[in-house]
Amino acid sequence: MIAAPTNSPDAARLVTPTMLVLWLVLATVPLWIARIGLYPYLGIEILIWSLYALAFNLVLGTAGLPSFGHGAYFGIGAYAFGLCQFDLVANLWICLAAASVIAGLAGAFVALFISHRRGIYYAFMTIAFGQIFWTLAIKSHRITGGEDGLLKIARLPANFGFVSFDLTDNVAFYYFVLAMFAIGVAGLWRLVNSPYGRIVAAIRQSETRAAHLGYNVWLYKASVFTLSAAISGFAGGLFAMAQLAAFPDVMSLHQSGYVVMMTLVGGGLVSFWGPVIGVFVFLTARDVIGALTNAWMLYFGLLFIAIVLFRPEGIAGAISAMLQQHSLSALRARGNSAMRLLLGGGR
């Protein structure tokens, strides 16, 4: 596996310059997105899926565990949000907490069965559990509404006690999602760069070595999976609000495959920001190419094949390679001119 632990000074920060710039750029999106022919809802989708992909990458990129049924936890979060709203209490914070707790519990349950497995067996166990949850969602008509989905989920107002925001408008909801995204990104960045995150990354490199150093590998694998499921569930809760409904299709194998694709196309294996880049490219391509042709998955599939073959470290990897090459050639130019000065030039 490609491993590139970065030891930049940013690792110790809560908020890095990259995050600040990204948040500022994202905050201006509703001002111009309609002008370039797109719509604010796309921005909401990109933010929610980015949070989901970042949570997924905790398992795939940081821990190196192939989880191919992650859509289940995203979907469970969406259903939990809706059901909490209908049957318990219609409070935004409680419902979002319910989404992540229920998804986290589902993740913890699955982790019990899979955390002592590796490689292809781990991968297929996650697929099997994903399919089990998906089938349950489709067949339990009375709870989830079956294939029709759980409809009429409301965008609850964000109540801070002294002030309450109405989120029914897409732009208002966009800013709410952006705030949640910002908190999620900062939290995940801290997590990945914490001692805990370092140990999880060490397990990715060698389970045996980490175990010999005295770390409880099983516990780390199980906990990172649970955490990832909980954050995916949180994103799922937001997605239920965005769609005003919860559907089983996000739990299907196809959609679980898409999040793997997005993460890898973006470069989740080498960069923290990889999943975000991947989601942005995937969803924008879906809308832009999808407007031109029905077979956009064909072109995206070809792009995906090309990336796996020629740039397996993804777009983030390609960008950093390009930047390095750029600085390298700049260095070389500088070195050459210095040489020429020393040798008296011209010859």
Sequence-separated (6 or more) residues with CB below 8 Å from residue 127: 68, 69, 253, 256
Q: Name which position in 309, 341, 342, 343 contacts another protein (CB under 8 A).
A: 309
Closest CA to 115 of 227, 217, 259: 217
Shortest spacing between CB 191 and another protein, in angstroms: 23
Please, what is the minimum distance in Å from the beta carbon of residue 302 to another protein? 6
- Closer residue to another protein in complex, CB, 187/312: 312
- Show the site string, 242-261: x = touches another protein by CB under 8 A, - = not: -----------xx--x--xx
Q: Is 246 helix (H, G, I), strand (E, B) or coil?
A: strand
d(CA 248, CA 330): 52
Nearer to another protein, 128 or 171 (CB): 128
Kind and range of the H or E run holding 249: none
Is residue 305 part of the contact set for another protein (CB under 8 A)?
yes
225 lies in the binding site for another protein (CB under 8 A): no
CB of 296 to another protein, least distance (A): 9
**By the rule CB under 8 A, 109 interacts with another protein:** no
| Binding track over 156-185 against another protein, x by CB under 8 A | ------------------------------
- The reply on whether position 3 binds another protein by CB under 8 A is no
Nearer to another protein, 101 or 108 (CB): 108
Tokens at residue 186, please?
């900062």
Q: Which of 88, 139, 322, 323 binds another protein (CB under 8 A)?
A: 139
Does 120 bind another protein (CB under 8 A)? Our answer is yes
User: How many Å apart are CA 126 and CA 266, to the nearest integer?
Assistant: 22
DSSP conformation letters of 255-316: HHHHHHHHHHHHTTTT-TTHHHHHHHHHHHHHHHHHHH-S-HHHHHHHHHHHHHHH-TTHHH
- For tokens 């029905």, name the residue: 294
In the chain, the amino acid numbered 156 is L
Query: For residues 45, 46, 50 and 51, what is the CA-based torsion angle, rounded to 10 degrees?
Result: -40
Q: Going by C-beta distance under 8 Å and a sequence separation of 6 or more, which residues neighbour residue 322?
A: none
E strand or H helix at 158: strand 158-159
- Locus of tokens 């294996």: 269
297 binds another protein (CB under 8 A): yes
Q: Is 121 in the site for another protein (CB under 8 A)?
A: yes
Three-class SS state of 150: strand
| Site map 53..72 versus another protein, x via CB under 8 A | -------------x------
Binding status of residue 127 toward another protein by CB under 8 A: yes
124 scored as a contact of another protein (CB under 8 A): yes
Task: From 135-143, 156-164, 165-173, 242-250, give the range in contact with another protein by CB under 8 A.
Answer: 135-143
User: Residue 197 Cβ, how far from another protein at the closest point, in Å?
Assistant: 21
Residue 140 CA to its chain's centroid (Å):
28
The distance of closest approach from Cβ of residue 216 to another protein in the complex, given in angstroms and rounded to an integer, is 19
Angle at 94 between CA 160 and CA 170, to 5 degrees: 65
Question: Is residue 1 involved in binding another protein (CB under 8 A)?
Answer: yes
Helical (H) or strand (E) element with 164: strand 164-165
Question: Smallest distance from the beta carbon of 310 to another protein, in angstroms?
Answer: 8
Residues of this chain that bind another protein (CB under 8 A): 1, 66, 113, 116-121, 124-125, 127-129, 131-132, 135-136, 139, 253-254, 257, 260-261, 264, 295, 297-298, 300-302, 304-305, 308-309, 312
